[in-house]
Structure 1
């Protein structure tokens, strides 16, 4: 396993963008038109640049898998962060959808701990080339090791039922469920507190 650097940007964007088409939550964010594949890459670039500033991108040893997980309150938003969000609105989301996506984002953030003292597991993906070769297990162990090291719970959201079952197998619990009817998806809010040793 290695921490990603700026030099890994295109590789990681490739892995993330390859995983996005199977994610209902992602598909509900981006504008659905003939530019959809490019819009997915713009969204993947936003994920990379945001998480890199938070030192939260991990690559598997064979460089086929990526996990994005960082301490949520580790970085205060800067003017560059706001600029990147504006670029995302124009390139991936589409101006006509921005208010709907912002409303959803506010709802989701309000369900997370207000303190920000947790690891946020934003994204996990393995390229088709790397599936079945151990990258997923390796990255899972990395995320759990970070939780132990920092003595923090892990929070995430998923709209994929199969992923929900996998997370439950590894100790995550659902603490809130949102039926996002306008987009026809269910979003499960999950947490894993087994690595936290409170006094």
Structure 2
């Protein structure tokens, strides 16, 4: 696993957009219209930029898996972040849906721990053509090792029920569930 330089943005964006195309939580955010896949790519581009600035973007050696990690204590208010947020509203969410998404975001933030020193796994994805070959597990094991070195607990959310048992097998536990019209599972691992 290596840090992904900015030149890998489109590559990471493609893997994550393909991996999350049918994800309930991600599709809840994205305006569902004829530009849906482009909006999904824009969401992943936004997430790449945020994690590049305030966390980590990591890619497997074979370039078939990637992860976006946010370090919330590093995230600062800036003009750049404000511009990215505005682009997210206009290019992904849509103005009409903004209050609905802000309400969802508020409920998620109220559930997440208030601690700042965490390793927040925002996205992990494997190229759909390479899934079910152990690449995701290998990537997760490296992320867990990285979080241990940093002495940070790992937090994540998933709306995919089959992923819950996978995360539990790796040592995560559910600490909360939220019903948003779909189940969102909040998981953590002490490192």
Structure 1 length-normalised TM: 0.92
Paired residues of 1:67 and 1:123 also in contact (CA < 8 A): yes
1:185 to 2:182 alignment: yes
Partner Cα distance (2:8, 2:88) in 1: 20
Q: Secondary structure at the match of 2:106?
A: helix
**Offset at residue 54 of structure 1 (A):** 2.0
Partner Cα distance (1:153, 1:146) in 2: 11
Partner Cα distance (1:164, 1:151) in 2: 23
Show the counterpart of 2:101.
101
Write out aligned runs for 1:1-199 (5 A): 1-180=1-180, 184-193=181-190, 195=191
**Offset at residue 2 of structure 1 (A):** 0.9
**Offset at residue 133 of structure 1 (A):** 4.2
**Offset at residue 62 of structure 1 (A):** 0.4
User: Where does the alignment leave 5 or more consecutive residues of structure 2 unmatched?
Assistant: none
Deviation digits for residues 78-120 of structure 1 (CA, Å, limit 9, x no counterpart): 1111110111110111110011101111111122221211110
Partner Cα distance (1:132, 1:60) in 2: 15
Deviation digits for residues 31-72 of structure 1 (CA, Å, limit 9, x no counterpart): 111111111111111011111112411100100101112322
User: Where does the alignment leave 5 or more consecutive residues of structure 1 unmatched?
Assistant: none
Q: Secondary structure at the match of 1:63?
A: coil
Q: Between Structure 1 and Structure 2, how many residues are aligned? A: 191
Partner Cα distance (2:179, 2:11) in 1: 34
Paired residues of 2:158 and 2:164 also in contact (CA < 8 A): yes
Paired residues of 1:121 and 1:155 also in contact (CA < 8 A): yes
* RMSD over equivalenced CA pairs, Å: 1.2
Paired residues of 2:55 and 2:74 also in contact (CA < 8 A): no
Q: Which has more helix, going by share of residues? A: 2
**Offset at residue 187 of structure 1 (A):** 0.6
Structure 2 length-normalised TM: 0.95
Partner Cα distance (1:69, 1:143) in 2: 9
**Offset at residue 139 of structure 1 (A):** 1.0
Paired residues of 1:61 and 1:135 also in contact (CA < 8 A): no
